[in-house]
Amino acid sequence: MAKKKPSIAFQGEHGAYSEEAIRQQYSDSMTTVPYRGFTDIFDAVNDGTVEHGMLPVENSSAGTVAQSYELLLEHDLRVQSEIIFRVHHMLLATANTSIDDIQRVKSHPQALAQCEGYLRRRGWEPVAVYDTAGSARDLATTSEPSTAVLASALAGDLYGLNILERGVEDDPYNSTRFFVIGHKDAVRGDEPQKTSVVFAVRHTPAALYECLGAFARNEVNLTKLESRPMRFRPWQYWFYLDFEGHVEDPACEQAIVGLMRHASMVKLLGSYPAAPNPYLNYNGYHVAQSEHKQ
């Protein structure tokens, strides 16, 4: 009897970029389950309907996905791994539509924003809809000869649409960072580790300086620091911080202890295997910049 594959929830319809990223990372070792919203993903993991959730947390062009971090703060789930996925937007249309027929392009607002320059040069009307893959599915079931969509190659395959142009995103390094979330802490392996925390500071001079100083004194490298407004507390902020290393590493453990001494609240989101960053070389410089200088 075949062993049942673990299930992982993602936001959107089948063919979404989240599902494409899951397939890239895990091949066919997980069963993908679509949900309409991010809150639905957390509910499904919390009640045991699925074992894992796939959550977009940051895009290289559009920045942080605020709702994802708010939900991570509200729920007691752990970040188990991260995935950095190179997003290639495909211009898709039905078999009877040529590129000369197109007048409008439908997709999720973020996909439209990431292809804004391309659409403007073509003179096409952008039309925002709920989901990239959903726009592909809907186009495949309706007759809209002057309409195309921006979605993944996977969505094109699933819904029988033709790829009219590939990789139409404005940013050649357009990527999305995902967290895989679940109930348990990640199993620690030999690969480089990363840790994510959320904290708040007291309303006193040098409060943030003292919190961050705990990492500097222990020579722990920060990879992300961002402030976000607290809900229902105007002009007060959470700080989301990522650093290299595992919370059980001596230097990282001391840094967390120092942070807790000076912060008013600290929540550990998880220590997990760090995804390779394809845009940095071994010295930490952007590959694109170093290539440009040569």
138-169 pLDDT tens trace: 999 997 889 999 999 999 999 999 999 999 99
Are the beta carbons of 53 and 41 closer than 8 angstroms?
yes
Q: Delineate the domains of the chain, giving CATH numbers in brackets.
A: 7-86+174-182 (3.40.190.10), 90-165 (3.40.190.10), 193-273 (3.30.70.260)
* DSSP-derived 3-state class of residue 227: strand
240 pLDDT more than 60? yes
pLDDT value of position 277: 73
pLDDT value of position 280: 57
Nearest by Cα to 268 from 76, 55, 83, 66: 76
Active site residues: 176, 178
Q: What is the pLDDT of residues 15-24, one digit of tens each?
A: 999 999 999 9
pLDDT interval class at 278 (50, 70, 90): low
Structure tokens at 173: 């390094």
Q: Where are the alpha helices (DSSP H) in 27-127?
A: 38-46, 66-74, 109-114, 116-122
Are the beta carbons of 186 and 270 closer than 8 angstroms?
yes
* DSSP-derived 3-state class of residue 207: helix
Are the beta carbons of 180 and 8 closer than 8 angstroms?
yes
232, amino acid identity: F
Nearest by Cα to 35 from 130, 148, 164: 130
286 pLDDT more than 90? no
| Higher local confidence (pLDDT), 222 or 2 | 222
pLDDT value of position 14: 96
* Cα(230)–Cα(194) distance, integer angstroms: 25
* Cα(94)–Cα(146) distance, integer angstroms: 10
292 pLDDT more than 60? no
Please report, rounded to a whole number, the percentage of residues in the chain having pLDDT higher than 70.
94
